[in-house]
Amino acid sequence: MDSVLAMSALAAGIAVLTAAGAGIGQGFATGKAVEAIARQPEARGSIMSTLLIGAAVAETTAIYGFVIALLLLFVNPLIK
């Protein structure tokens, strides 16, 4: 029981590491968006909205990791 809980806590930590990928992806996207705005400042509005949507989609994986961590910590199907 205790070991299952300990491993669950570790697993939750590892699951949250998915945020790293999302962070890198969003960083790339934002950098490209800044380049695009620098090249074409008049298209700022549409670039920004596209960036926001893209960042939100890229964030999904990180959110999945976060939800898995929550499940492991608070719902934990393994200890029932």
Sign of the torsion formed by the C-alpha atoms of 70, 73, 74 and 79 = positive
First to last CA, the chain: 10
Alpha helices in the chain (DSSP H): 2-16, 18-39, 44-70
Q: Binding-site residue total for other proteins (CB under 8 A)?
A: 20
Closest by alpha carbon to 63, among 27, 10, 18?
Answer: 18
Q: Mask 19-58, x = binds other proteins (CB under 8 A)?
A: ------------------------------x--xx--xx-
| Least Cβ distance, residue 33 to other proteins (angstroms) | 15
| Least Cβ distance, residue 76 to other proteins (angstroms) | 7
For other proteins, the binding residues (CB under 8 A) are 2, 5-6, 9, 49, 52-53, 56-57, 59-60, 63-64, 66-67, 70-71, 74-76
